[in-house]
Structure 1
């Protein structure tokens, strides 16, 4: 695990080399969900790196893992815009990465879409798992349920998350309170979809407890080049519930893009 210092903030990150590197493959940058971190990905990024030939760059966003804690809770409702348009470009420049693949889950998927559509920087392609482009009632209902579980010692949710975050209360409440704030109800990033750089692979489970398939349908309607994968027997974390299907789809997507360059 390494640390990156940017504008007085510290990010933990790791770079994982593929067991089968493809010389023409750019790095793939992983952006985790609203309660995620490097450690919560487990060995999934390495599996993707091995299957695609891409180096995997994985980091804990501000407020998560061992990265700099959040300075305010709840966050500004545009926190995903800030991470996509301000923070991610600085991180990529510091790591000397240009035209990467982006791989984002949930909040990380939304950040990836905003960056690909609004940062004005080239990306090779964007893979998103269970992304949000607008706020649905089902998301808010289940976030409220998660909040009750976090406060209930019998669920051990705080304890489990505490193994992955140095500031577990800040990490949880930064997500929970922001999403449930009245100002966040109108959050929407569909305006970034038509200008997304490069192809998009959007994957979602049919049993996603935080979203309906309307999320994927709007991405397909708004972005120029989209492949959709809808997975049965799969909830909000396709890389955990259906890892084989996600890796296969990602490897095919990456190969198609890189082979077209030859």
Structure 2
């Protein structure tokens, strides 16, 4: 797997290509969740890339997967650091122009911050179960995750995907349960998003209510919403066909049809 030295980090990444390319299709950039990595996406990035007809970048942020360790404890503004500093530098280093950011959970929040607070040129963003503010259900879900990590084989499962599962879990869990994080909110950045947004959330999300995507629709200029029934916090895992279909339709609306 290739690596990229970027600023003070070394990041693992993969580049994907559609089986049947479509002229004008944008590059997808996959931004993983707070416990995610390249391998946790499984085959979903390739399936979506094939449906869209373009190329894709999938990478593990520092501290995740096989990328270099991250400095712990994570600061309360760790997602801002990723969105404002690391992601634009990564796109520039790999010469990726006007991509569609595809972010899940933390990755969705990072996509929104990048779109709303940087000059990065984007064709669009797709966010799955993003957070724009901290809800009581979010705190309760993360507290429950802590109990599972301490009492179930969850650590072993994470260890299949990360060099240091303890650093991954506690780096995420501790910052979200930090009282200073309770006031974290990115709604003020939403009006600055100048590209179309597709926001997807499961109706049974254990970490958030549909107020998250409703607030995105209230704040950003061009937003399409999709609430999925029988779906929890990972729509691409619980309802992959629905997510692929909605994303392919969204991206097709951004680009001219090939002739």
Superposition TM-score, scaled by structure 1 size: 0.97
Q: Which residue of 1 aligns with 2:196?
A: 199
1:197 and 1:3 map into 2 onto residues whose CA distance is: 31
Q: Is the contact made by 2:24 and 2:256 (CA closer than 8 Å) also made in structure 1?
A: no
How far 1:261 moved relative to its partner? 11
RMSD: 1.2
The equivalent residue for 1:138 is 137
Match of 2:14 in 1: 14
Match of 2:87 in 1: 88
Give the length in aligned residue pairs.
259
Whether the 8 Å CA contact 1:4–1:10 is kept in 2: the answer is yes
Q: CA deviation at 1:243?
A: 0.2
Q: Which moved more, 1:252-261 or 1:26-35?
A: 252-261
Give, in whole Å, the separation in 2 of the partners of 1:138 and 1:237: 16
Match of 1:120 in 2: 119
220, 227, 239: which one pairs with 1:230?
227
1:247 to 244, 247, 251: 244
Residue 171 (structure 1) aligned with residue 168 (structure 2):
yes
Q: Distance in 2 between matches of 1:79 and 1:260?
A: 38
1:55-134 equivalences under 5 Å are 55-73=55-73, 75-134=74-133
Residues 203-222 of structure 1: matches in 2 within 5 Å? 203-222=200-219
**Corresponding residue number in structure 1 for 2:184:** 187
Q: Note if contact 2:28-2:99 (Cα within 8 Å) is conserved in structure 1.
A: yes
Deviation at 1:23, TM superposition (A): 2.4
Q: Distance in 2 between matches of 1:260 and 1:228?
A: 23
Q: CA deviation at 1:148?
A: 1.3
The alignment's TM-score, normalised by the length of structure 2, stands at 0.98
Per the TM alignment, residue 217 of structure 1 is displaced from its structure 2 partner at its CA by 0.7
Distance 1:223 1:7 in 2: 31
* Alignment deviations for residues 1-47 of structure 1 (CA, whole Å, 9 cap, x no partner): 21011123110000000012122122110000000000000000000
Displacement of 1:120 in angstroms is 1.2
Report deviation, 1:260: 8.1
Counterpart CA distance in 1 for 2:194 and 2:98 is 10
Once the 2 structures are TM-superposed, how far is the Cα of residue 191 of structure 1 from its aligned partner? 1.0
Structure 2: state its 5+ residue gaps. Answer: none
Q: Give runs of aligned pairs for residues 21-40 of structure 1, distance below 5 A.
A: 21-40=21-40
